[in-house]
Each structure stands twice: as structure tokens, then as C-alpha cells.
Structure 1
Amino acid sequence: MTTYSDKQQLRRLLRQRRKALSQESRRLATKKINRLLCPFIRRQKRIAVYWAVGSELSLWSFIVTAQKRGAQVYLPYIESKKRQLWFTPCPRLSRRHATIRYLNLHHQNTGKHKIPQFNGCKIRARYLHTVLIPLLGIDHQGNRLGQGGGYYDATLANFRYLQPLLVGAGFSCQQVDTIKSESHDINIPIFVSENGYQYLNR
């Protein structure tokens, strides 16, 4: 079993793994993962997703399905100089995946690797029912490795009572044996990849 303590080195490794996926492997895995996530959709329930950038797993198909089934879908919103995330309603997506044109239509002139920030009534994570969390890596104990900004850790770390259901979504190549965790790191109880569902140790 390999334990990764150098997080920057591990981030580089996992980015390389994700980018190395062939176009066909990525397409098939993305389709399957989006389908596997559908049982988390509940009508009128508030579910947070993320806007995929770079080589991240796209949730476009899942978002379209969730909106069609009547769920309230939210995207993370980063407030200037603040670490805790807000969440704003995700605009209605069309079935056809046309990211750049869609962002231009909504005046989101973001760079290739920047997260678009949509306007709308902002809510905090405590009002969400489910949060689909992006990740670079995850281990078999549910320790998550993110991009390094710490936004999700800061947002979800201080729940004293009930918190949203946390679900990690990504490709199977992003899972490793063990990631060294720190006290502020959140634990992910469920990981969904093209290999199916994993209920991880907490």
C-alpha cells in the first residue's frame, strides 16, 4: 500500500493520469458516471454540482437530468477574499453539450481553467441536501485531494449537526491507496466512478 504525503507531487501525478485517458475511454466513463449519479436526484431537493474545468469529469448530462426531474441545482460561488463557498442556482442547461457557447451566452468570459460564477440568490451549504464534490484524488478511507484552494474543506468542516450528503465523483484512475489527511480535511463517504459506487470508511 502506498501512502502519498507530498500532495503537490500527487496532484501532478493525478492530473497526468486524468489527462492520459483516451477520448473514447473518457466519453464512456463520463456517460456511465453521470447515469450512476442519477439516484441522488430528488424532486424539489437542493443539490450542488460543479462546473467542470480542464480535464475534470463533466456533469453536464447529470445536471440536465436533474433539472428535468425537478431538482434545484446549484453551483459553487466564490466570494472575493473569502474561503467559504456560497451556492447559486445553475442556469437551465440544454441537452446539447456546448460549453463555450453557453458561457458566452451568459456573459461568462472565463479562461479555459477558470470556474464561471453565475448570479442568483446565494445560499450556504447548510441549506443543501446533497453536494457532488470535485476531486483530484480520493483514497479508500474517503480522504479527498482537491486543487489546493481549500474552499470545500472550509465550507463543510464546521457542521455541528446535520450536513448535506457528500458524494465524490470522478474517474477510477483518480483513486489511490492512501492520502495523508490533515485535521481540516473533509471526509467523503461515497465515491462514484465508472466502476460503480464505493461506500468509504469514515
Structure 2
Amino acid sequence: MSRTDKAAQRQQLRRARQSLTRSQRRNATRRSNSALKPFIRRARRIGVYWPVGSELRLDDFMRAALARGARVYLPYIEPHSLRLWFTPYCANTAHAERARGQSRLRIPQFSGHKIRAHQLHTLIVPLVGIDRHGYRLGQGGGYYDVTLAHTRARLHPHTIGVGFACQQVAQLPREAHDMPLDAFVCEHGLQRFGSHQSSF
């Protein structure tokens, strides 16, 4: 699939996500956050994402994770690098947020000890689309592709894509470096891929 085709597919999937009504979005967000909560374990390191645009929000899940003693991390983007670091999330964002960098995504950066993805137990991944085999279509920036590629030859976190049901399609194009996610969570529940595959 060409870059033009991928761009068209991203646009189509974003439109589907944006067309959800306020009620549909609210209910889907509540159900998805609830479906993620079984992954919370005390002292476990969980990487989450800062929602951009119409991406599904994780506020309820993040509050629950902190309340149950898990350690929550957000992506940290270094200039001129696609490989993400992760820094501890603090619920008091007024004090925790650093000055924003040059990223066009305008993702808040948090201070603290930086770790790499392979040091996380669970990594919750944003997406524009995902297929029935766990392959993900991202924003196109390459941050998660590069970050996950660096976990290929070592222990890697349990990767969970999160979004709305309308973002799943039968099949997406894939390249040799692409790695499928372990699971997908949406308002219909949890779907695992690979040897643990199950349907909603």
C-alpha cells in the first residue's frame, strides 16, 4: 500500500472515530477503561498515552492504576529521535508538566527517571486503526514502530492497543519490521491475538 493509500485509510478511520456521538463516545470510553482494569497490579510499570485529538481517553484507568499502587508512565519524546522514553506520570499535572518541545503532536512531557519500553510490564498503545491480526496503523510519525522494534530481541511489555470498535478492520498492510500487538481493547471488551486469540 502506498503512502497515499495509507493516508486515505487514516483519514477514513479518523472520520469514523470523530463521527461517534457524545453518548457513544462516553459509553465506549467507560467500557474500555473498565476492560483495562484487570491489567492493573501493584508496583507494575504501565505505559499509557496522552490522548491526541479524538483518541480514546484513559483518565479513569489511570486514576484506578495509581489508586491501586501501579506505576504509570507517559511517553517522553527526545528531539531528533523516534525511540520513546517513558517517565512517571503524576496526577497533579499542574506541577508535573515540563515545557513542551518541538513535537507537532504537542504531547506534554513529564520529568522524572526515564526508562525504555522493555522495562515496562504493560504498554497501552494508541492507534488510528488495527486489524484482526493485531497489526496497528498509527499516526504516521513512527514513534511506536521504532520503540516496539527495539523490544524485539529482548523481553518486551504486554502490548495493548486501545480505541473504539469502529477503528478495527479486517486487514491492514504490513511491513517486515511491523510487530503485532498482543491485544486490543474497545467498548466490546478485550481481544487477544496470536496463540491466545479470542473474539469479543
**TM-score, structure 1 as length reference:** 0.88
Question: In 1, distance between residues paired with 2:47 and 2:145?
Answer: 15
Taking the TM superposition and a 5 Å limit, the aligned residue runs for 1:46-65 are: 46-65=45-64
| 8 A contact 1:53–1:112 mirrored in 2 | no
Partner residue of 1:154 out of 146, 156, 159: 146
Cα distance, 1:113 vs structure 2: 5.3
**Kindly, what percent of the aligned residue pairs are identical?**
49
Secondary structure at the counterpart of residue 197 of structure 1? strand
Structure 2 match to 1:191: 184
Q: CA RMSD in A?
A: 2.3
1:10 counterpart = 2:9: yes
Secondary structure at the counterpart of residue 178 of structure 1? coil
Partner residue of 1:140 out of 132, 140, 143: 132
Which structure has more RCO (C-alpha within 8 Å, separation ≥ 6)?
1
Q: Which structure 1 residue ranges, 5 or more long, are not aligned?
A: 94-101
Cα distance, 1:119 vs structure 2: 1.2
| 8 A contact 2:97–2:111 mirrored in 1 | no
Question: In 1, distance between residues paired with 2:2 and 2:191?
Answer: 20
| 8 A contact 2:35–2:189 mirrored in 1 | yes
| 8 A contact 2:126–2:161 mirrored in 1 | yes
Equivalent AA in structure 1 for residue 68 of structure 2: R
Q: Between Structure 1 and Structure 2, how many residues are aligned?
A: 192
| 8 A contact 1:4–1:178 mirrored in 2 | no
Q: Classify 1:180/1:144 alpha carbon distance in 2 versus 1 (closer, same or farther; 3 Å).
A: same
Question: In 1, distance between residues paired with 2:138 and 2:191?
Answer: 18
